[in-house]
Structure formats: C-alpha cells, structure tokens
A and B are shown apart, each in its own frame.
Chain A
Amino acid sequence: MVQARTIRLWSRVHTWTSLVCMLFLLMLCVTGLPLVFHDEIDDLLEDEIAAPAMPEGTPRLSLDRMIAAAQARFPGQYVLLLNLKQTEPLVTVAVSPTAIPAPGNFHRLTLDARTADVLGEEAPHQGVMDIVLRIHKDMFAGLPGELFLGAMGLVFAVSIISGIVVYWPFMRRLDFGTIRRRSSPRVKWLDTHNLLGIVTVTWTMVVGLTGMINTLATPLFDLWRAQLIPVLLAPHLGKPVAPIPSVQAAVELVRSRFPDRLVTSVTMPTSARFGSPQHLVVWTKGATPFTARMLQPMLVDANDGKTIVAPEVPWYLKTLQVSRPLHFGDYGGLPLKIVWAVLDVMTIIVLVSGIYLWAARRSSVRGKPLGAGRTEAVGV
C-alpha cells in the first residue's frame, strides 16, 4: 500500500527530526521560560533608577552636556552611544575603555536629562538573566552557536510539519480532543502528545521560525552594513574616525526633518561594527506598536553635522525586526507573556511525552517475543 508506506516515511521523519533537535529544544524552552519575564525579573533583581521629582515642564539640558558629564566621569574613555528613555527624563550613556568595546566591558551611566547628574552607574557585570540569555542565544559559543541553534530551529520546523502529517492516521478513528485515560500510559500520553501538539502548532511554528530568523541577525546586519557603509564613506576615504559633533544639533535636525519619528538612541562615530566612522547614527522608531518595532537609522555626517542620509531598510532587516516581538512575546502586556509561558510549558510537555513515546515503543518492540508482538502490531 502506497499510503501506508508514505505515512511510515513521514512517521520516520517525525521521529528522527524530533530526536535530533530534542535536547536543544528542551534547553531553549526551559531557558526561554524565565526570559519571557525578562523585564519583570530585571526590575525585581535590580534597583530601578527613577528620575527625581521636579516641577512639570522642567527643561532638558542639551545632549552634549550628557556626553560631557560621562567624559568627566571616565576621562579618556570612548563614548559609544546614548539612549533616550521614552517614559522618563533619563539618558543612558555607554562608555568603553577601548574604541571597539569588548563584550561586557563597558560602563553604562544613567543621567538625569534635566541636570546631567549621574544617577546610576552600571559596572560591567553579568547578571543571572544575562547568563540565561547567552545559553538561550548561543550556548556561549558565539556566532557558530547561534547559527547552530538556528539550524536546530529549522529541524524543529520539519518535525512540526511531519507531526501534522502523522496526526491524521492517529486521529482517523478518534474525535478531536480524545484522551483515552483508561488505556495504557502509552496510549494516554500518545493522545496527550497529539492534542497538545496540534493545538499549539501555530504558536510553536511562529516562535520557532522567528527564533531561527533572529539567529541570522548578526550576518544580516553585517550584510546591510557592507552594502551601505562603503558608499557612504567613499568621500571620506582614509580619514580617521571623526570626533563627536554636536549630538543635540543632529538630533534636532532629524526631529525637524522627520517629525513623526521618535529618536531612541544615537551611536557616536566609531570604527566598531554597530556604527559608522564618519556619521552619527540617530536611531528612530515610529509611534504605533507596529512601527515602533521598525527602527530606522538616520546617518548624520559627523564632519558637517548637516547632511542626513536616511537609508532604506532592506526587506530582510524589516522581517528580522517584525520577527523579534513574535519570538519574545513582549508586545501585548503581561497577560500575553503569561499566555506565552503557558504555551511554552505545553511545548515542554509535548517534547517530553514525545521522548517517552519513542522510548516506550522501543522497549515494547524489544521486550515482546518476536511472533506475538509482531502479529499484535500488524493486526487489524
């Protein structure tokens, strides 16, 4: 029978793709669970820096004063970037002892935007959540680790698709949602695996594939930069990294030219991978929940402080930006995060019951005398 053979083939695909990615997927689900509540846990573990109360409408100082304050605090160090808090009059400034920052080796100063007082200073350190994130993202193996987990995501997608195909023969004589609890544990867990697996399929597919897209972030961003920066830098060939021009003037210029965009951060001229040696990169976002995910860099020439280039963000980076919230589940408030966590736990149950079913079937095939076991299995 062709059909039986086809189903057997899909069943094998399901078994083997699942076995290949199982351990990594369990790791991803378990580490992903606390990461869903990343913000809440961070708030709990670390003292949130709040801006002191001041009369409404107290004017903000120039952003250049923030940079001067950070330079006064760490003389001779490199100011890398500036973050503008949207909800509070706070500015964070990242300062590094080296021109190209080593991971975890920079200070983050939080300043009051109205007084330029240093309110907080985050020394280079790795919190528990940073470690969980590193495991989840690349297992401390850098880009190769990231790409490897991306490949596991792809294998997981094949496992899901084959799982949908084999759902049919299993459910041909059962009502949707049947769990035969009276039967053997194996049957009970088979039904549970089928039910939980099929109802979560859209979510697991979306979170799996967007996670896979996220693993391509570094190469994709590098690709865009490699296409864009040489063209922009052609007139400045051979020049050293430009000194920091007036950031306030550049931000105001961007705001007046693009009044519907919110400025979120500014990257100083740098030879590091995240910026340009001859430009201030003013990062902007839109005002709606969807466009707020779409970051648009505006490159302000650091030599004249006037020329703005607003490069068209390529489709693959737009895809990447949309895929981020869909992976993190952080775009619909705390209730969405809770739903995310429950679906994650359901996925863990599907994974563990899958392993159990595979192990139980293997032992039942081995344990039974050849003749009896085979006839029972093949019968009907």
Chain B
Amino acid sequence: MLPSVPKADFPNPARHHRSAWDVFRVPLLVGLVCAAGLGLALVGDGIWDGLSWLALSLPVALAAFYWRRAGRSH
C-alpha cells in the first residue's frame, strides 16, 4: 500500500477499488468543457464569449457545490 497515505484517508475500505476510468471520468469531462471554453472566446464575440464564460465557470461551480455540500452533511 501507499506508505505516505495513512489509513484514515480511506474511510470506506469495504467499498470496491475504482478503476482509473471511474476516477477520471468526471475530471476528463470537466477538462474537455474547460478546453472548449478556452477556445470558444477566441473564435468570435457575443454568443461565443457567453459560452466560454459558462464553460470556464464549471470548475468554480463544482468546487463551490461540493464545498457547501460537505459543510451541510454534518
């Protein structure tokens, strides 16, 4: 096992190990949306800029959502 990671970091040892695909599925999607967002504003103005703002706000929204959910759960 990982020498640097204490057991406490894994609270749920009974659960199955996830595959790399399971772990990286969501991050990959977020990454693709962000890449599209970075590119869209280069293409044109107006609607393209708007789409770019939305796409690049996704990481911010996800971080805010999960941080708040963690705060509410106890």
Q: Interface of A with B (CB < 8 Å)?
A: 4, 7-8, 11, 164, 167-174, 176-184, 187, 190-192, 195-196, 198-203, 206, 288-290, 293, 322, 325-326, 331-333, 335-336, 339, 342-343, 346, 361, 364, 376-380
- Classify the interface of chain B: helix, strand, loop or mixed: helix
Select one of B38, B41, B66 contacting A177, CB under 8 A. Answer: B66
Q: Which of B2-55 contact A (CB under 8 A)?
A: 2-13, 15, 17-18, 20, 23-27, 30-31, 34-35, 38, 41-45, 49, 52-53
Residue of B5, B35, B53, B73 with most partner-chain A CB within 10 A: B5
10 closest A-B pairs by beta carbon, nearest first, are A332-B41, A177-B66, A179-B70, A199-B59, A202-B34, A176-B26, A332-B49, A202-B31, A181-B70, A335-B53
Pairwise interchain contact A176-B71, C-beta atoms closer than 8 A: no
Chain B residue with Cβ nearest A202: B34
Given A202-B31, A336-B52, A172-B42 contact (CB < 8 Å):
no
Question: Contacts of B63 on A, CB cut-off 8 Å?
Answer: 195-196, 199, 346
Pairwise interchain contact A288-B2, C-beta atoms closer than 8 A: no
Considering the chains assembled together, what is the distance between the CA atoms of A319 and B1 in angstroms? Answer: 44
Select one of B3, B20, B67 contacting A8, CB under 8 A. Answer: B3
Question: Contacts of A200 on B, CB cut-off 8 Å?
Answer: 59
Q: How far is the CB of A250 from chain B (nearest CB, A)?
A: 31
Question: Contacts of A168 on B, CB cut-off 8 Å?
Answer: 20, 23-24
Given A168-B23, A377-B6, A335-B49 contact (CB < 8 Å):
yes
Select one of A169, A176, A191, A376 contacting B2, CB under 8 A. Answer: A169
Question: Contacts of A173 on B, CB cut-off 8 Å?
Answer: 10-13, 15, 17-18
Select one of B9, B34, B65 contacting A190, CB under 8 A. Answer: B9
Given A182-B74, A199-B27, A377-B6, A339-B53 contact (CB < 8 Å):
yes
Q: How far is the CB of A370 from chain B (nearest CB, A)?
A: 14
Pairwise interchain contact A339-B70, C-beta atoms closer than 8 A: no
Pairwise interchain contact A377-B4, C-beta atoms closer than 8 A: yes
Select one of B23, B38, B42, B71 contacting A290, CB under 8 A. Answer: B42
Pairwise interchain contact B60-A171, C-beta atoms closer than 8 A: no
Question: Contacts of B5 on A, CB cut-off 8 Å?
Answer: 169-170, 377
**Can you give 20 A-B contacts (C-beta < 8 A)?**
A11-B2, A167-B24, A171-B18, A172-B18, A173-B13, A177-B66, A179-B69, A180-B70, A187-B9, A195-B62, A199-B62, A200-B59, A289-B43, A290-B43, A322-B42, A326-B42, A336-B56, A339-B56, A346-B60, A346-B63
Q: How far is the CB of A1 from chain B (nearest CB, A)?
A: 8
Considering the chains assembled together, what is the distance between the CA atoms of A294 and B1 in angstroms? Answer: 52
Pairwise interchain contact B56-A343, C-beta atoms closer than 8 A: yes
Pairwise interchain contact B42-A325, C-beta atoms closer than 8 A: yes
Q: How far is the CB of B36 from chain A (nearest CB, A)?
A: 10
Q: How far is the CB of A168 from chain B (nearest CB, A)?
A: 5
Considering the chains assembled together, what is the distance between the CA atoms of A176 and B59 in angstroms? Answer: 13
Q: How far is the CB of B6 from chain A (nearest CB, A)?
A: 5
Considering the chains assembled together, what is the distance between the CA atoms of A342 and B60 in angstroms? Answer: 7
Pairwise interchain contact A336-B73, C-beta atoms closer than 8 A: no
Pairwise interchain contact A203-B66, C-beta atoms closer than 8 A: no
Question: Contacts of A192 on B, CB cut-off 8 Å?
Answer: 67
Pairwise interchain contact A181-B27, C-beta atoms closer than 8 A: no
Pairwise interchain contact B11-A4, C-beta atoms closer than 8 A: no
17 extra A-B contacts, CB within 8 A, seeds A170-B9, A178-B66, A289-B45: A167-B23, A168-B23, A168-B24, A171-B23, A172-B23, A177-B66, A181-B71, A183-B8, A195-B63, A199-B27, A326-B42, A331-B42, A336-B41, A336-B52, A343-B56, A377-B4, A378-B1
Question: Contacts of B2 on A, CB cut-off 8 Å?
Answer: 4, 7-8, 11, 169
Q: How far is the CB of B42 from chain A (nearest CB, A)?
A: 5
Considering the chains assembled together, what is the distance between the CA atoms of A171 and B69 in angstroms? Answer: 18
Select one of A201, A336, A346 contacting B27, CB under 8 A. Answer: A201
Select one of A176, A331, A376 contacting B7, CB under 8 A. Answer: A376
